[in-house]
Structure 1
Amino acid sequence: MNTFLHSPLYTATHLGDLALRNRIVMAPLTRCRAAQGDMPTPLMATYYQQRATAGLIVSEGVQISPRGKGYVGTPGIYTEAQSRAWRRITSAVHARGGLIVLQLWHVGRASHSSLQPGGALPVAPSALAIPGLVHTPRGKLPFETPHALTVEEIDGVVEEYRHAARLAMDAGFDGVEIHGANGYLLDQFLRDGANRRTDAYGGSVQNRARLLLRVVDAVTSVWPASRVGVRLSPNNPFNGMRDSDPFRTFSYAMAQLDTRGLAYLHLVEHQAGLGQPEAGMPMVDVQRLLPYWHGAYVANDGYTGDSAAAAVSSGRARAVAFGVPFIGNPDVVARLAEGAALRRPDPATLYGGGAHGYTDYAPLAA
């Protein structure tokens, strides 16, 4: 018998009211397979069901409104029809005994007018463009200077999160994760490199964290807090992000989240391979931040089976999220247990397309 089966990764645990049969979490993975109208598809049900042996699946980012969209082919959760389509996916996961939470997502300025309703500009805390190019239906184009949200528009965004949370509940998800990471809207408000506002949503860390906390409170007015997670990324430079004092920013945010009885906190600990920090960008040792959070912690970013087991065994993490390995290996849980090699996915099929490179990776048993 493989001794790795005796690893703490294969013990049951709870993240709030989410009862996990193992501590291997499937991280959210953008795959761009939705149909027209941001509709989830039957092929997506197959994809998620194949990976249902994970202790918990966090869905790909799902935009809470048409203005929250930043990529071709990403799914939505803002209409009743979308909610019904997601129910087919949650039912497929539950049929294999799995758990799945939906990741609530608004990309903010990480978009382009060609992806926005009526060709409007993307929205953001401040009128600051991301450096570089964005993928659009017309190919790669420069990021545009976004529209800075008014206070009234911010109120509307909060209500969009609340509405999406209700639709996620109707769709049969086991909970939701609020995406506050990787340079998307909530992260843009939180970090001062993207937020230059001078009103109640800018300036001090208390003001910059206001939208994140309002969204958490709105979502937990729909879901029990014990079924709501939050994802943050204090060191990720993706989408042109930085913060002048990430320890101060994220220790405050985590301390405030800690008071809300959430199911878990999910941190992208380093850079997630999504970009290189600019020279001199302040970074923070995540170990310094963890004392500000006393709930269940899900670690993420470059873990192996051995390092994940060590993180759980030491008590540093309740569970560990794996991302890219789940693309090419629907059976990550079994492969780690057997000590089998993890297949590298075909990079040409990561974003968009059909079944090839999506649902045709064979499991070990095959």
Structure 2
Amino acid sequence: MAFATLHDVAEAAGVSYATVDRVVNARGGVSQKSVLRVQAAIKQLGYARDVSAANLARKRVYRFLFLLPEDHNDFFHSLYSALQSHAQRPNLLRIAVTTTRLPAFSEKALIEALARIDPATVDCACVVALDTPAVNAAVQRVRAQGVKLVTLVSDIDAASRDAYVGIDNYVAGKTAGRMMGLCHGRQPGLVLPIIGTSRAHDHIQRLSGFLEIMQAHFPQITLLEPVTSRDEAATIHRELDDIWRAHPNLTGVYNMGAGNDGLVAWIRGITGRDRPFMVIHELLPNARTALEAGLVDAVIDQKPKEIITRTMDAMRLLVDGEALPTPAPVITPAIYLCENLPDTPKETDWMPSND
């Protein structure tokens, strides 16, 4: 069945095409009687306005701002690269993307960047957030100025933002816990969780899910206090060295953030003892190489390309005043072992731009 057009609505309402166009686009200058007739015809025909077509006709430009952490690790390299690729690909929709990079985990830098957002030049902003009261308040101030706001990868209070795009980090943590427990069978063990920061919602949710599964289903395994790494490879390497000396019976490590270069370098230096079972995040070149070499055992991947695609779609819908899907779709992370690795991506699929 063909979709109703503005011409169909005009004919059914007994008014001109121009009148219908004015009513549909809320431009005024139409009598109340004609407005009611047009609205009745729209309801009768089931007409739905094609917002994308209307914006194309008006040569509208979507102005999107991304506030991303400085790409000090491969994950943000890949996220930034995916954003660049998406923004540069041929598309009838006019989308202007501006990216500002901030120091990772810096509440001050994030709040200052949010305060600089100008509603005259930004329609929608996207941030990798820190879940603190001050950041939530800064986000609310931005939205009060009419700018839509989407959180990416790491969320905040749902009431503070317009949408979140990313994986369910609580489920990701539970998945890591299940894999860690199963690898031990019913044997006792000693496991170390590594967290980037307690102010990142994604890390806290992963840790919560991991602890829940381990404590409920694998009580014979002892959990060490989580180490905070700030996603720094050197910190992870140093902490693992210290813990390995203090706990030579260490049987598992779950790194729920970045800094995997430090973890892999530490594993390569182990001699005389079996290494612990390793679960890490993000299937990036270093992680892939480690899987292939048998240095880590499982990788949970967030699919950065899918994250960016869904983020751009959500931002456009918000700016157009369209309803987001309900319930909001959550990206299902991929779990990779050495046996199910996908084809090797091109280097340009993950490496950052030099500008």
TM-score over 0.5 for the pair: no
Larger radius of gyration: 2
Instruction: State TM-score, norm by structure 1.
Output: 0.28
Which structure's residues are more often helix, by fraction?
2
Instruction: State TM-score, norm by structure 2.
Output: 0.28
Higher relative contact order (CA 8 A, sep 6+): 1
